[in-house]
Every structure is written in structure tokens, then in C-alpha cells.
Structure 1
Amino acid sequence: MVLMTDKEKSKQKKKKTKKFFENPWKIAFLTLIAIIVSLVIVVSYRISTPRMTYDTKKETTIDLKDPILEVSMTKDQVNRAINYYIKDLFDSSGVDYTFHLDKDALIDGTFSLLGHDTHFYLYFEPFVLANGDVQLKAKDLTVGTLSVPIPAMINYISHSVDFPKWIEINPDEQYITLHLQQMKLANGMRVKAEQINLVNDQIRFNLYLSDNKK
């Protein structure tokens, strides 16, 4: 077995870091995934925080087809919450970026490329599917003054990153599907997106009890 010295380990680490930042496609897409995970964290936190009192002596009948809790958020709340969480996720990455929901969803960031600060913008549009999943349709990715082909970027990243099983990537159709019902929540509970309306500032998710609880 060959043991590496601290100096050799340091050189290897710097080499990997340099390689990472020389690939702007990977940075932009990993940022998008960080935002997806952050949104899941925010929703999970909101649905696990009690917001009502009830009489435990009163017998109730629960229809598993009906949601037990609705989580409503505004674009400003989502922006503040996600930027708070992704700051911790990418704090040591060397990438400076923000997430902003307006008419579209936008990732606005800066990273060092070949010794120069390079700006990138990633635009995508969110849709709620009939089954409560969320689909993100990529619209445009710009790195510096270059317009990067979205299918090529998505295809490259889909083979470079180990995504959770509930995230489906389709490079040809240029979309990412978040199968929210496949996410593992406490006690087998399920979450579905109800509405994402950026124009009217309405973002709602519903929480359902498990239909397989024994």
C-alpha cells in the first residue's frame, strides 16, 4: 500500500477543485439540485411544525384521499428560505449565487473560470403535474456571453451526478421531474404539489397520510 503525504493529498484536492470549477455546466446544474433539495427541506419543516390545536377526545374519521395539511408559501418566503439553506450547502464551494422566483425561476451566480469571474444564469419554469409531482422545464442557460445548449448540459450532468431515485432527468425533452410521492417522509406520509403560480404568487403543497400503514 502506498501512503500519500499531506502535501500530495493537498495537491490532489486542489487538482479536483480546479477541475470542478472549469466545468460551468456542472456548477449550474449542481446548484439547481441544491435548490431542489432545499425546497424539500423547507416543505418538510413546514409540514412537521404543528399549527393547530384539537380536541383529542373527539372521534374523527380520516379519509386517506384527503390532505391532512396544506402548506402555503409566497415567492418571497420561498426565496428567503431557499437562499438561507443553499448558503450552507455551498458555503465552501467557492460559488457565489442566489435563487430568485419572479415570473420565472432564476439561478444567478458567479464562479471563477480560468482566473476570471464568470457569471451564469439558469432559467426554468415549474409545473405541477396531475399526480402532484413537480416538473421543471429548462428554458435557458447562459454562461458569460455564451448560450449553452441545454440538452447537452443536462445529458452530461445526468451521467456525472448520483441523483436520488425520485428525481427523473430527461435531457432530450429538457425537463426534470420531481416524483414527490416517492420521497420518504416520517411515518410514510406523502407530499403533493397543489399549485405553483408564480404570476399570482401562490405556492401550495398538500400532506397526506400513508395508505399503507399497518
Structure 2
Amino acid sequence: MNKKWKLAFLGLLTLNVIIVLILAIALFSPIKDEPLPKAQPEKEAVEFHVQSNKEDLNRVIKTFIEKEKAKGFVDYNVYLRDQVELYGDIAVFSERINYKLSFEPEALKNGNVILRQKGIKVGRINLPVSYVLKAARDAYQFPDWVKIMPNDELIYISLDKMKLESDLKVKADRIDLKKDDIRFTFQLPTE
């Protein structure tokens, strides 16, 4: 009888070690990022320059996210304050853990936007930023023009690939959230 208990204990110990090894490999394996998208060539267009503020853009973002939530694709929120803040939750084992990611936005010369990760809060757990970004990327369906890049700790927003009505295109000219100075150029194709 003692031999059976020893074998059962060794079998259970082996199973636990295998599970821990699998979890460690999954957590610490490198994350593959997609390359940054290339800007699409510009068509002949009429340009309209728009200056906005955080309050108005928060309303636009909220409306967009609410439409996506109605389709069942998203369960996160984005707010513009002195930084861009992304709120959501991720599944860890059988629990849902809330997180908050803070980003510093940067308008690129090609009109697209990079959100560089600046802060992270994940429940009471201190997880690597790349892990949380990867978990968010895998858990939610973001639009095609939003690329989450965990290794670089950033989100790339291809405004030139965003689908708007009447083939309208948008380019970010300036994003200074601390001064509440946000400027875009809207391009309406004439061809």
C-alpha cells in the first residue's frame, strides 16, 4: 500500500511540475510583433484642417466604442486625459483582473499615431507590460487599423487605413493632451 501512495505522489508531483513549466514557457516566451504598416499613397484631395479638444474626442471615442460593443467585439474603454488611458480586464486562470494602461500619443509625419506605453496597473499584480498588451491584443478584436505591438510597448494607429464615409481620410497633425491641443487634417478625395 505504501508503494502505491509513493507512486501516486510522484505522479502528482510530476504533473504539477509539467503544468508549472508549461505556464512559465507561455509567460516568458517571446512575443512576435507585426511590422509597422506602411502609409498608403495619397490621392488627389481637398484638405480641411480641424482643431479639437479632449472632451469632444472623448465623446467621439465613446460613440465608436459603444457601436463596437453592440456588435459584441469589444469590452474595453479609452479616455483622453493628460495621457490616453485604456481600461479593460483580462482572464487570469478563472478570474477577471482589471487593468489600466496609460499611453503618450505621438502624431507621426505620415499622419498616423503611435501610443507609447507610459504606465500600467493590473489589479494588485505587477505583470510585464508586453504580457498585458499581448493579453489585450488576444482578448479583444481591435479594428484592422489598430496594431498592438507588445515587444515595443506601443499601439500603432493607422489613421490612413481607417474607413470613413465618402472615402474621407484623416491625418493627425498634432496631439498635445496636456495643452488640450489636438489637430487633424481631413482629406476628401476629388478623383
Structures share fold, TM-score greater than 0.5: yes
SS across alignment from 2:111: coil
Give the structure with the larger strand fraction.
Answer: 2
Equivalent of 2:112, from 109, 127, 133? 133
- Check if 1:210 corresponds to 2:155: no
Give the total of aligned pairs. Answer: 148
Matched-pair identity in %: 30
> TM-score scaled to structure 1, two decimals?
0.54
Aligned-partner residue type, residue 143 of structure 1:
V
Return the letter of the residue paired with 1:204: R
TM-score normalised according to structure 2 size:
0.59
**Quick one: distance in 2 between partners of 1:115 and 1:144?**
15
Aligned to 2:47: 68
Q: Deviations over 1:134-176 (max 9, x none)?
A: 1111223322111221112333454565554433332211112
Distance 2:89 2:137 in 1: 22
2:149 corresponds, among 163, 170, 177, to 170
| Higher RCO (CA-CA < 8 Å; seq separation 6+) | 2
Query: What are the ranges of 5 or more consecutive residues in structure 1 without an aligned counterpart?
Result: 1-62
Q: CA deviation at 1:90?
A: 3.4
Distance 1:110 1:144 in 2: 9
Match of 2:121 in 1: 142
Greater Rg over alpha carbons, structure? 2
Paired amino acid for 1:86: I
Q: Gaps spanning 5+ residues in structure 2: where?
A: 1-42
Query: Aligned partners of 1:194, 1:100: CA distance in 2, in Å?
Result: 20
The amino acid across from 1:150 in the alignment is V
Structure 2 SS opposite 1:81: helix
RMSD of aligned residue pairs (Cα, Å):
3.7
Specify the alignment match of 2:159 in structure 1: 180
**Alpha-carbon shift at residue 74 of structure 1 (Å):** 0.9
> 2-side partners of 1:140 and 1:195: how far apart?
22
**Matched residue type, 2:80:** L
Q: Which moved more, 1:108-117 or 1:67-76?
A: 108-117
